[in-house]
Structure 1
Amino acid sequence: MRIHRLFAAALLAAVSVGLHAQDLATVCRATSSYDLTIRPGQLIFDRPAPAPTQVVLSDGSLTTDGHAVALSDEDQDRLAVFQRDLLALVPRVKAVAQHGVDVTMQAVQQESGSLNLDADTRAELQNRLATHATELHQRIAASQSTHDWHGDVANQYANQVISDIGPLLASALGQQAVSAAISGDLQQAAALRDRASNLAAGFQPRLQRRLQVLRPEIQALCPDIQRLAELQEGIQASNGRPLHLVQIGQ
């Protein structure tokens, strides 16, 4: 049975909710070519190219690619406010991500309800989902860099959960199908396979509809992100180029 696809879709979506740049770009039209790392007293922005490839903000001071940038008093004040406001925004972004995890895990539980699992399997599934949700919540809470969500992180986490939950469901559904076949009810056995397959195939779009509940929460971030873009306006790196740490599309 292809029930594992349900969980692949679920966990990929859950992980991708964390600090989701695509959602911010879609809802707030906000983008950045930089990754952000938060360290005590510092915001570090980095990217492969073009220069500046590293921008460091620290209490109103600005360093780009290792060179201190001379700033007017006004620009120092603006960057200090930028740093303060961005740090205040981070926990709000994380709160949206945490809510997205909860929505996703609840969706998995509700969707699996249509599989008519036995009581023991339902209880074990709930326990395992709760454990993985807790781990993902902790990972989001502890994250201090967008680098934490690069590359194959989503796939790796999904595979980890699938390897834990997949066999549990496969065993339960397989036993149901075997029991139906042994009893001579081949139609019921086929129906079980089809139900699992259809559930997996349609889960992703249904989950995306559920995740629309996050849209107002993301929209509430937009004015503050717009404010960040305004605060950096006109400030240049050591090479004379605009910082453009945050950009707002038209």
Structure 2
Amino acid sequence: MRHAIAAIACLFLFAAGAVHAGSSKTPDLSSRECGLSTPYNVQVDGGGVWLYRREGVPKEIFFHDGTLSVDHRVQAVSDADARRLRRMEDDARALMPEVAGIARESVSLTFDVLAGVVRTMTESERKARKVERHRDDALAHIDDSLGNGRWDQDVFGAQFEADVEQVIEQITGSITRSALWAAFTGRAERLEERADRVGRDVERLVDARSTALERRAEALCGQVATLHEMQGALEYRYQGAPLVMLERSASPAESIDATASVDIADRDSAK
């Protein structure tokens, strides 16, 4: 019995690893993914583009049809800037549905992997449907925010992450109970077969969908970079400085590279 339980524990760890492997291949939903970020919350709709925040200056920026307002005061802009602002508005309006679509697919993929693991490891449609209901709640959260053209800094913040963690904890409990039951009833080999199937299914699901998702994310980064370039071309100055709505930030990959460089430098200096 002791050996059976140990085997089941290993299988469970494998299944949990499959979940994280699946979710790790999906694009990060952070606004820093493209190496650019905004310190503002953003609302984009037919009435224009509105950027707002509680701290920092300016607190609010609004532009629509070539007109620019900063902290509720209309600003004088050149004809060239008016054209740039119109294009930025059009591009931002086209960008938001793409952001929402990528977020939906990324969340769907993650929860589909989780539901697949539960379905295979527990052989319970009821438990798998429970995970799928959490997926539907997460998608509704996206539709109510990004789907309406609104990007909040905490749209995928602490509460959203806590909800996902809660789902993972529930799944962990379900799989653990199924594993222990299999061990006590002498069905460890059957569970091992299921774990093998989980690995194959997760790899197939993630590979099929993540490649297309990554292409969409790369195209999105190109659109964000274009917005940043147009911002840099604005002649308007706020308190003598360029108006910053998008700013450079380290992407996740760059952060990793920077950390690695520091580690190498530290090792070299230690020599």
| Shared fold (TM-score, shorter chain, > 0.5) | yes
The 2-side partners of 1:67 and 1:81 are apart by 21
**Could you tell me how far apart the structure 2 residues matched to 1:34 and 1:61 are?**
19
Q: CA RMSD in A?
A: 4.0
Partner Cα distance (1:71, 1:62) in 2: 7
Question: In structure 1, the residue corresponding to 2:241 is in which secondary structure?
Answer: coil
Q: Could you say which structure has the greater relative contact order, defined with CA pairs below 8 angstroms and 6 or more residues apart? A: 1
Cα distance, 1:36 vs. partner?
Answer: 1.6
Name the CA shift for 1:159/1:106 in 2 (closer, same or farther; >3 Å). closer
Contact 1:100 1:214 in 2 (8 A): yes
> Aligned letter for 2:133?
T
Shift of 1:174: 3.2
Q: Which moved more, 1:44-53 or 1:58-67?
A: 44-53
Q: 1:137 aligns with which of 139, 142, 157?
A: 139
Q: Which runs of 4+ in 1 moved over 6 A?
A: none
Q: Structure 2: which amino acid aligns with 1:222? A: C
- 1:44 and 2:59 equivalent? no
Give the whole-Å Cα distance in 1 for the aligned partners of 2:212 and 2:155: 22
What are structure 1's unaligned runs of at least 5 residues?
A: none
Counterpart of 1:225? 224
Work out whether residues 128 and 165 of structure 1, in 8 Å CA contact, stay in contact via their aligned partners in 2: no
1:56-86 alpha-carbon deviations (Å, 9 max, x no partner): 2233221222332111222122112211110
**What is the aligned partner in structure 2 of residue 215 from structure 1?**
214
CA contact (8 A) 1:102 1:133 kept: yes
CA contact (8 A) 1:68 1:238 kept: no
1:1-250 alignment, distance < 5 Å: 6=16, 19-25=29-35, 30-38=36-44, 40-47=46-53, 50-112=56-118, 115=121, 117-118=122-123, 121=124, 123-143=125-145, 144-149=150-155, 151-162=157-168, 165-180=171-186, 188=188, 211=210, 213-232=212-231, 233-247=233-247
Figure out how many residues of one structure are paired with residues of the other and give that number.
224
Residue by residue over 1:19-63, the C-alpha shift from the partner in whole angstroms, topping out at 9 and shown as x without a partner, is: 4323222xxxx3333332335513222345542232122332212
Distance, in Å, in 2 between the alignment partners of 1:211 and 1:140 is 19
Q: Which amino acid aligns with 1:244?
A: V
Give the distance between the partners of 1:40 and 1:31, measured in 2 at CA: 23
Q: What are the Cα deviations for residues 211-249 of structure 1, in whole angstroms up to 9, with x where unaligned?
A: 465221111123322221232223435423212212457
Using a 3 Å threshold, how does the CA distance of structure 1 residues 17 and 108 change in structure 2: closer, same or farther? Answer: same
- Equivalent-residue separation in structure 1 for 2:61 and 2:177 (angstroms): 52
Residue 88 of structure 1 and its aligned partner are, at CA, apart by 0.7
Contact kept, 8 Å, 1:44 with 1:57, in 2: the verdict is yes
Partner amino acid, structure 1, of 2:223: D
- Of all paired residues, the percent bearing the same amino acid is 21
* Structure 1 SS opposite 2:88: helix
Residues 6, 155 of structure 1: alpha-carbon distance in 2 compared, 3 angstrom cutoff: farther
What one-letter code is carried by the residue in structure 1 that aligns with 2:101?
A: A
Q: Unaligned 5+ residue runs, structure 2?
A: 1-8, 251-271
